[in-house]
Amino acid sequence: MKEKVTVAAIGCSGPVAHHFVEGFCEEGANLRLLARKPHKVRRRYPQAEIVQGSMMEPADVARAVDGADAVFLVTPMGLSDDPSSEIEAARLVLKGLKAAGVPHLIYTSCLGVERKHGVGILDAKHAIEQMISESGIPFSILRCGTYMEDLFDLRVELLKKGKFLFPLNKSRRFTFTSQRDVPRFVTSELLAKGRVLNDRIDLVAPGTFSISQIEVLLSEAAGFEIRAPSRFPTFHLFRALTPVFRLRKDRMSSVIPLLVHFDKHGYHSKDARSDIGGFEATTLPAHLDRLLCQEPG
Ligand SMILES: NC(=O)c1ccc[n+]([C@@H]2O[C@H](COP(=O)([O-])OP(=O)(O)OC[C@H]3O[C@@H](n4cnc5c(N)ncnc54)[C@H](OP(=O)(O)O)[C@@H]3O)[C@@H](O)[C@H]2O)c1
């Protein structure tokens, strides 16, 4: 980056956005983070500026983004496969952003949401992309594949025991995004160059991989066999537990419908572009090698 830019991160105080926040700090941005409970995030991100407030309060959002060069937005998934709370969160954030008059909104969306899929997590992104493009705010929408850090890094201990907990049809294909690539792309390709896309792009790693191919990549990276469980019975057990997750207001009540969609269709876009200017996205084999490479001696 030529000059230090200020990025206001909204919806980034939870665990999913951890790699985005750390990445922005590593890329040298001044990071401002809106959080309902500042003491929780202050310990995690001592280098960030924390603004107390909620993304559901437009006045808090306007205060958090005041004077920032860009706003980086992650919207919180709703429960029970219902997209409405995520759409409402985006609506309230946009209200705050309009009041503040921000120069650039960067939104992390999902692959393939140019149409609805009947899945809450994806349909929320479809609606939010539409709202952003009609908001009049300069924007860049980054459509991401499955986050490598979310699928693999969080389960590294299980992977080291030879298990990859992804019990879906093994022929389904997936496209991936390294979360660390997102702040790297934003700072080097958008902010440093003063580029606002006013469009959507797929920010993905090269290639699509079936679960069988992922098993091979994992095994090669680890130096021992790593296998996904067969679809039966694990996938069916997950599905059967959906009403329990709904009752408990657990995020799995929305994740399971997404897994059902993945089991039918995989998660990739035919036209996903991985050649974005000169930007080199982290490849899946490189990520897995780094995650699973064994310590020497
Ligand atoms: N592509 C992928 O592989 C992938 C994987 C996982 C998730 N995602 C996407 O990442 C996004 C975030 O996922 P998540 O929801 O599971 O993230 P999360 O880590 O649980 O974070 C949710 C964020 O929203 C805030 N939030 C939630 N409810 C709120 C409320 N009522 N009022 C104010 N703030 C609220 C939280 O603030 P507090 O910290 O204050 O609670 C936190 O900052 C979703 O859009 C999801 O679809 C994508």
Per the structure, the complete domain to which residue 130 belongs is given by 6-147+177-205+271-281
In a domain, 288, yes or no: no
Residues of the chain by 3-state class (helix, strand, coil), percent to 5: 45, 15, 40
DSSP 69: S
pLDDT tens digits, 142-178: 999 999 999 999 999 999 999 999 999 999 999 999 9
Rounded (5°) CA angle 12-110-91? 60
In a domain, 243, yes or no: no
Domains in the chain, number:
1
In a domain, 196, yes or no: yes
In a domain, 23, yes or no: yes
Q: How far apart are CA 107 and CA 58, in angstroms?
A: 17
CA of 103 to the centre of ligand 1 (A): 24
In a domain, 162, yes or no: no
- Choose which residue among 56, 74, 181, 262 to substitute to test ligand 1 binding: the one with the highest number of ligand atoms within 8 A of its C-beta: 74
Q: Which helix (H) or strand (E) holds 100?
A: helix 84-100
Give residue 157's identity as a one-letter amino acid code: E
pTM, two decimals, is: 0.96
In a domain, 251, yes or no: no
In a domain, 77, yes or no: yes
Report the phi/psi class of residue 266: left, alpha or beta, with left for phi > 0 and alpha for psi in -120 to 50.
left
> Can you give the pLDDT at residue 2?
47
CATH of the domain at 24: 3.40.50.720
pLDDT tens digits, 71-101: 999 999 999 999 999 999 999 999 999 999 9
- The pocket around ligand 1, CB under 6 angstroms, is made up of 11-17, 35-37, 54-56, 74-77, 110, 121, 144, 146-147, 150, 251
Which residues have CB under 8 Å from 142's CB, separation 6+?
Answer: 106, 107, 108, 109, 182, 185, 186, 200, 201, 203
Which residue has the CA at smallest separation from atom 14 of ligand 1? Answer: 76
Which residue has the CA at smallest separation from atom 15 of ligand 1? Answer: 76
Q: Provide the residue-wise pLDDT of the chain in tens; the chain has 297 residues.
A: 447 999 999 999 999 999 999 999 999 999 999 999 999 999 999 999 999 999 999 999 999 999 999 999 999 999 999 999 999 999 999 999 999 999 999 999 999 999 999 999 999 999 999 999 999 999 999 999 999 999 999 999 999 999 999 999 999 999 999 999 999 999 999 999 999 999 999 999 999 999 999 999 999 999 999 999 999 999 999 999 999 999 999 999 999 999 999 999 999 976 666 567 789 999 999 999 999 986 554
CA of 84 to the centre of ligand 1 (A): 14
In a domain, 296, yes or no: no
CA of 278 to the centre of ligand 1 (A): 30
> Can you give the pLDDT at residue 38?
96
